[in-house]
Amino acid sequence: MLITADPQADYLAHAPAVRAAIDRVLESGIYILGAEVAAFEKEFSEYQDGGYTLGVANGTEALELALRAAGIAAGDRVATVANTVTATVSAIQQIGAHPVFVEIDEDMMVMSVPALAARFARDGASLRAVIPVHLYGQPAPMPEIMELARRHGACVIEDCAQAHGATIGGRRVGAWGDAAAFSFYPTKNLGAIGDGGAVYTRDPALAEQVRLLRQYGWRTRYVAEIAGRNSRLDEIQAAILRVKLPHLDAGNDRRRAIAARYSAQLAGLPMRLPVGGGATTAPVFHQYAVRTPRRDALQAALRARDILCGVLYPVPVHHQPAHAVPGLSLPVTERACAEVLCLPCHPAVSDEDVDQVTSAIRDALNEKGDAHV
């Protein structure tokens, strides 16, 4: 069976090293904020561009703590997109801020720069922060977003949960904004075996704020300096992430090769394929998302052949009960959510698997006798 993401395959690829890492933690007797978290933070910072990494409990809380550390508070407006996992928006709402949904670019399916510019023109200085999402591992246009945000005095927190290792002009995502949030949920390009996340920033003051916020506001043990909370990465997850980090680039290379094979074989079929972000952008294909108006029929036809494709995300956040914005229409976003289908794309997918998926897609199109399945 072929599936969109396969965390068990990722474990099996590194099983002896993962088990040794877990044993090392068990025997150390230190299970929270010890040597493994410190070492992982250092190694991840080096992997990025030498800033500060703070391990936290998950990607959602990484966004929340980054916003708070950047000074965003209750009542502030935060711009983001609606074709994302609900987590991006719950982080904004957890701190009492208000999400402002910005339309996406039709081809790239990430935040549209003209739409963000229009939003700044309307909201002015009340728009205090922007959270671009590097969806499916495709970098959002950070140079343009940073230029706009700087001009309007807003801070930028990158949602890097799907884009560990992606680059724009040779510079990694997460190194562009004021801070970035990473998730290590098991299916992510860098995945733990449980929950985990991190805030990354080049700003030492912001890093220090996150350090306090993630553990009760303590600078000195048992003495809260600010109102903090508990959001910590644990030693076992950090030790596992240290095993996997050195393989991240190879895994991303494999994802790009899978994507290239899909694109070559699916070219000419009546569906939209992912568009690259230009010569200077290196996406990391957390997902390989095709688009067709007959998405549900294609998904069912593939399921009948034991190929399980995901729909990320079927309901845009502004249409979800908890986050509905009455009267808001985002036609490009809504169309993307109605049409996307994510094909199996992770390092354990072989060339033969890709061939099997593309021939199943071809069959599905033919069987229907309808060029649009």
Ligand X SMILES: *Cc1c(COP(=O)(O)O)cnc(C)c1O
For the packed helices 204-213 and 59-69, what is the interaxial angle rounded to 10 degrees? 120
Q: Coil, strand, or helix at residue 59?
A: helix
DSSP H or E segment with residue 151: helix 142-151
Q: Coil, strand, or helix at residue 165?
A: coil
Binding ligand X (rule: CB under 6 A), the pick from 25, 79, 92, 133 is: 133
Shortest separation between residue 279's beta carbon and ligand X, angstroms: 25
Write out the binding residues for ligand X, residues 43-62 only, by CB under 6 A: 58-60
Q: Which residues of 63-85 are buried (b: 16+ CB within 10 A; e: fewer)?
A: bbbbbbbbebeeebbbbbbbbbb
Based on the shown chain and the rule CB under 6 A, indicate whether residue 333 belongs to the binding site for ligand X: no
Shortest separation between residue 181's beta carbon and ligand X, angstroms: 7
Write out the binding residues for ligand X, residues 197-216 only, by CB under 6 A: 197
Binding ligand X (rule: CB under 6 A), the pick from 48, 80, 83, 183 is: 183
**Using CB under 6 A, which of the segments 36-44, 82-90, 147-155, 273-281 binds ligand X?**
82-90
CA atoms within 13 A on the CB side of 1: 10
- CA 38, CA 121: separation in Å to the nearest integer? 43
> 343 or 365, CB closer to ligand X?
343
- Nearest Cα residue to 190 out of 246, 228, 244: 244
> 76 or 159, CB closer to ligand X?
159
Shortest separation between residue 58's beta carbon and ligand X, angstroms: 4
Based on the shown chain and the rule CB under 6 A, indicate whether residue 85 belongs to the binding site for ligand X: yes
DSSP bridge partners of 78: 99, 129
In 10 A of CB 117, how many CB atoms? Answer: 17
- CA 51, CA 186: separation in Å to the nearest integer? 24
> 120 or 313, CB closer to ligand X?
313
Binding ligand X (rule: CB under 6 A), the pick from 21, 70, 82, 87 is: 87
Specify the residue for token string 């390009």: 189
Neighbouring residues of 318: CB distance < 8 A, sequence distance ≥ 6: 82, 101, 324, 325, 328, 330, 333
Asked if residues 95 and 64 have their Cβ atoms less than 8 Å apart, the reply is: yes
> 236 or 373, CB closer to ligand X?
236
Q: Total binding residues for ligand X by CB under 6 A?
A: 15
**Which phi and psi (to 5°) does residue 348 adopt?**
-85, -5
Based on the shown chain and the rule CB under 6 A, indicate whether residue 101 belongs to the binding site for ligand X: no
**Using CB under 6 A, which of the segments 85-93, 115-123, 331-339, 349-357 binds ligand X?**
85-93
Site string for ligand X, 149-178 (x = CB under 6 A): ----------x-xx----------------
- Contacting residues toward ligand X, per CB under 6 A: 58-60, 84-85, 87-88, 133, 159, 161-162, 183, 185, 195, 197
